[in-house]
Amino acid sequence: MNSKHVSVFIPCLVDQVYPEMGIAMIKLLRSFGYEIFYHKEQTCCGQPAFNAGQRKEAIKVAGHFVEVFAEDGLIVSPSGSCTAMVRKYFPNLFEGHHACETAAALGGRVLEFSEFIQQEDLLNKISGKWKGRIGFHNSCHSYRELDIDDFPLRILKRIDGVEPVRPPGEPVCCGFGGLFSFKFPAVSATMARSRLEQFFELGLKTIVSNDPGCIMHLRQEAKDKNMNMDILHLVEFLERTTKTI
């Protein structure tokens, strides 16, 4: 085992609601031979306030993030959305701020989980067994802000017996959008149902995604509509199916 270090960023939603996703990611990273570095003071990237237009509040939280992670090398996160916040939007948020440079530099070092696998060339360290077709839901931020396209599918294909499937056409939003889902719940719920139906129509009952926000939202709508679907984070799915752990 080599002794490479990697820092993990556990987004607030994972910390507070889905710690199992964080735990799964850590186990996987260890199985690849990494030593994990976890900053206990970490909280959130600031996205909720940023998306609401409340820059002061966003800076307060994002500033904390920058302080916590400023000195780190590579930082892995199980969320495409939070990664996009740091990489794509920190420069905008911190425009004219004294921490601007530090904040912008973080963008190059925070990686979403599948990006990390790709960048560190870890694909062949993944193997396992499962049986069946799996729908992949790429989050909008992952797809459009981070340009993550089919690499997560290549990861899934490492598991014997998995046939990953994407609904035809461009990836469609799950309808979450953070505060949007609170401000316009009916619209947001219909969007989730439309997305779920795309998978359902293809007979896909297991859906894997790389974003805890989408997962939370889709799970809720699936439950409300009595759609019997299993919606998992990529790291959860891998943890359940890989041999190396």
Give the footprint of another protein on this chain (CB under 8 A): 10, 12, 14-20, 22-23, 36, 38, 40-44, 46, 48-58, 60-61, 63-64, 92, 140-141, 144-145, 169-170, 172-173, 175-191, 194, 216, 220
| Closest distance of CB 39 from another protein, Å | 9
Is the Cβ–Cβ distance between 159 and 126 less than 8 Å?
yes
Q: How far is CA 229 from CA 32, 162, 217, 218, 237, in A?
A: 30, 17, 13, 9, 14
Closer residue to another protein, CB minimum distance, 202 or 216:
216
Closer residue to another protein, CB minimum distance, 123 or 227:
227
- CA dihedral over 36, 40, 44, 45, signed as positive or negative: negative
Q: List, in order, residues 6 or more apart from 45 with CB less than 8 Å away.
A: 9, 11, 61, 62, 65, 82, 85, 86
Closer residue to another protein, CB minimum distance, 13 or 162:
13
Closer residue to another protein, CB minimum distance, 128 or 152:
152
| Closest distance of CB 199 from another protein, Å | 15
| Closest distance of CB 36 from another protein, Å | 8
| Closest distance of CB 81 from another protein, Å | 10
| Closest distance of CB 168 from another protein, Å | 10
For residue 39, give both structure tokens.
């900053």
Q: Which of 224, 225, 202 is nearest to 133 (CA)?
A: 202
Strand bridging mode 34-38 / 75-77:
unpaired
Closer residue to another protein, CB minimum distance, 132 or 185:
185
Question: Dihedral through CA 12, CA 238, CA 5, CA 146, nearest 10?
Answer: -60
Closer residue to another protein, CB minimum distance, 2 or 56:
56
Is the Cβ–Cβ distance between 177 and 48 less than 8 Å?
no
CA separation for the pair 156, 138 (Å, rounded): 13
| Closest distance of CB 141 from another protein, Å | 8
Is the Cβ–Cβ distance between 109 and 75 less than 8 Å?
yes
